[in-house]
Amino acid sequence: MIHNWYVLYTRSRCEKKVASLLSKRAIENYCPLNRVVKKWTDRHKLVYEPLFSSYVFVKSFPTDIYKIKQVTSDIVNFVYWLGKPAVIMDTEIDNIKDFLNGYSNVKIEKKDIRLNDRVKIINGPLMDRVGDITSIENNKVKLYLPSLGYIITAEVDINNIELLNHSNFRVDKLVS
């Protein structure tokens, strides 16, 4: 039987609590945390906020899904795709981890998109990663993670991207 990554949907603002409870039960999980600087009138503070609102990733066998849902009432359900719990590829979890290790104040946006250009990052924390991008504007690259349907945005120098195929982008769009 295959050990896969699945997505848990949690009650609002319960992501860290659910991840902690899963860890206490020795259930492999990942709650991607975004480093964000919060500003108050008297100070600035670095805080860790869940990158995906109400989502926690859990690695398990399909037969363990019912047991995992019983860990806490803060788990609403698994995220389903085509009638089955959505499976996330290991490489996508690794990409999220690498991305968050290299960048702070990451922004995400939910969007239905089509795959466009295939690029390879040739420098920086995502070096040698190949992925599909949806747009390049100035120095901003949008990386598509297909299983999640999210776009993760980061400032990446245009010189650190190598185009692997011909695309819909004109060459003058790639030069800032």
Please determine, for residue 113, whether its predicted confidence score (pLDDT) is greater than 60. no
Please determine, for residue 155, whether its predicted confidence score (pLDDT) is greater than 70. no
Q: Where in the chain is the domain with CATH 2.30.30.30?
A: 106-174
Q: What's the pLDDT at 168? A: 44
Q: What's the pLDDT at 152? A: 64
Please determine, for residue 104, whether its predicted confidence score (pLDDT) is greater than 70. yes
Counting other chains too, the contacts that 142-149 makes at CB distance below 8 Å and 24 or more residues apart are 143/95, 143/99, 144/113, 144/115, 145/92, 145/95, 145/96, 146/92, 146/115, 147/86, 147/87, 147/88, 147/89, 147/92, 148/7, 148/52, 148/88, 148/92, 149/110, 149/111, 149/112
Q: How much is the pTM?
A: 0.65
Q: What architecture is the 106-174 domain classified under in CATH? A: Roll (2.30)
Q: Where in the chain is the domain with CATH 3.30.70.940?
A: 4-88
Query: Tell me: the pLDDT tens digits for 25-50?
Result: 999 999 999 998 889 899 999 999 99
CATH class of the domain whose range is 4-88: alpha beta
Among 76-90, 106-120, 136-150, 158-172, where is mean pLDDT lowest?
158-172
Query: Tell me: the pLDDT tens digits for 68-96?
Result: 999 999 999 999 877 889 899 898 899 89
